[in-house]
Chain A
């Protein structure tokens, strides 16, 4: 009675992919089988589309309502990403489920990548595709605004890049720290430094280069140059692509550090 004596086909995944498919299926299952999926969708719809509807109804100018929509997305999306990353890395480390699954044929990079892919996809649908699609209709129907469909999709792409930045940042922090405090504190500080004027203004004065290496300009009116997502939505040329490229590089760096650090982790 051993693994090879029956008609079951042993898993063929090897190397860094060992256990990835199974772990990914399980992670996707948590989005579909638990309240995680619909609760994230509901929060995103209420926060993003609800506030947009209120702003448009209250007679706010459409471009202003658009800016507000992007700012709320820039503020809300990091919270969703941070809470998910905390729950899935720190929560599993503390509860012992991480040690349990890692005692099976599962490589540590696969554990991280499965979570990153599942949360990346779940958040894309809950916080970008669904509210973005509805917002597009709201702008056209309620705001009477002509928006380029491709431009709007590109703008939502930047929204997703912003989200992905905070997801990878929080996952990295969750592997570097054992407490929820530092993860939440650092990630929120990074997320809200841009939109908070009392932090943003001194930063623009003393470290103006920061707006090029941080993701703030993707979604908010940082330095009064307008959010890059706004340019894309309106179909106008981007003044710079540096923050986009740098944000992508940050994401890659965060993933590499997360995997490296998680490989050192002892359970």
Chain B
């Protein structure tokens, strides 16, 4: 059973920390022309954490981020960043935040250096030499020092993304909000972005939305999962993974798969089955409540009716992707 389905589990997963949360929302909601983009949302992001904000497309991640930054107005509820109200104290919030949007756009006629100089100009009024030094340092941090004086019109997707992180970081923000920072990047670009995030983690709180669950598992401390505009889980990543540790097994057979599946489903310790078939072989991901019993019984059960060859069998450790998929699936079934 995953935290999505039990409302009390959602709250039990919230990190208890003495420091006040950097982001806190109470029933934060958003409706666009009668469509509920975000259902009343309660979330918390703790100081100096890297919080992965997950959810399928249209889950409400970008809407939440826009609300936190004052780019959209909430239809209901309240939220605070650094204890400041997002509606009435947005100016103070934006002074301490760095933001990278999902599809970052800049003024194409500017160079990377000019873009950072312009961004820095919103935060600092001088001295000029210090601003230039900050700009150069930030360009170096994201590996754009050698392209600093080229117009960004000719930048690749990865270079734009790195510039995006640079402009979000130029004011040394207390909170970095990144909307899909590694989307549209090749594996090397993704690795670079993750490296930058890891380097920044000791200085700032990072709240970032993504689809790439591998990345979340590698760098995040906490995870928040939205689905269809509603919160379905939030908490430290280890707890979330532990919740998902309803161990699963992989079983692949050739032959009369229907009777095997019927026998598997009839076992009380089998909590879920997903089937895939390829090249005349059928594979099941079998979630179980009693791993020892399952380990001993699954192969004999498969072979019990005859006419079946077991090609593959093994215990499978769950990763965040499994947890995420199950949480989202179960939350969809609930509705």
Contact = CB atoms under 8 A, between A and B. Distances in A.
A1 interface: yes
B166 to A, nearest CB: 13
Interface string B194-220: 000000000110000000000000000
Nearest to B99: A103
A10 B122 contact: no
Contacts of A25: 121
A15 to B, nearest CB: 8
Contact of B126 (A9, A18, A33, A96): A9
A11 B125 contact: yes
Interface string B62-103: 000010011111000000000000000001001111010101
A12 interface: yes
A241 interface: no
B126 A105 contact: no
Interface string B95-116: 1110101011111010000000
Interface in A23-52: 25-26, 30, 33-34
A103 B95 contact: no
Nearest to A13: B125
A95 to B, nearest CB: 5
Interface string B117-142: 01101111111001100100000000
Given A96-B105, A105-B123, A2 B203 contact: yes
A106 B121 CA distance: 10
Given A7-B130, A10-B125, A100-B105, A18 B91 contact: yes
B123 A11 contact: yes
A207 interface: no
B172 A6 contact: yes
Interface in A95-125: 95-97, 99-107
Contacts of B173: 2-3
Contact of B122 (A8, A11, A12, A99): A11
A97 B94 CA distance: 16
B183 to A, nearest CB: 15
Contacts of A107: 91
Query: How many residues of B sit at the interface, in one of the four size bands?
Result: 35 or more
Interface residues of A, number: 35
Contacts of B221: none
A267 B68 CA distance: 12
Given A105-B95, A266-B72, A267-B66, A9 B127 contact: yes
Nearest to B109: A34
A105 B91 contact: yes
A263 B330 CA distance: 40
B248 interface: no
Contacts of B104: 96, 100
Nearest to A108: B70
Name, among A14, A103, A107, the residue most crowded by chain B CB atoms within 10 Å (CB to CB).
Answer: A103
A113 B323 CA distance: 50
A30 B227 CA distance: 42
B261 interface: no
Contacts of B109: 30, 33-34
A2 B172 contact: yes
A104 B73 CA distance: 16
Contacts, number: 102
The CB with the most chain A CB atoms within 10 A, among B101, B121, B131, is that of B121
A80 to B, nearest CB: 19
Contacts of B99: 103-104
B105 A104 contact: no
Contacts of A26: 107, 118, 121
Contacts of B124: 8-11
A131 interface: no
Given A103-B71, A107-B91, A22 B118 contact: yes
Given A3-B95, A103-B99, A9 B125 contact: yes
B101 A96 contact: yes
A19 interface: yes
A267 B71 contact: yes
Contacts of A18: 91
B96 A106 contact: no
Given A103-B94, A103-B101, A8 B134 contact: yes
A10 to B, nearest CB: 6
B71 A19 contact: no
Nearest to B169: A1
Contacts of A10: 95, 123-125
B130 to A, nearest CB: 5
Given A2-B203, A10-B95, A99-B101, 10 more contacts: A1-B204, A2-B172, A3-B96, A8-B124, A11-B121, A12-B125, A30-B109, A102-B71, A103-B97, A104-B122
7 contacts: A3-B171, A5-B172, A22-B122, A103-B69, A105-B94, A267-B66, A267-B72
Interface of A: 1-3, 5-12, 14, 18-19, 21-22, 25-26, 30, 33-34, 95-97, 99-107, 266-267
Interface of B: 66, 69-73, 91, 94-97, 99, 101, 103-107, 109, 118-119, 121-127, 130-131, 134, 171-174, 203-204
The 6 closest A-B pairs by CB, nearest first: A22-B121, A96-B105, A1-B203, A104-B122, A266-B72, A267-B71
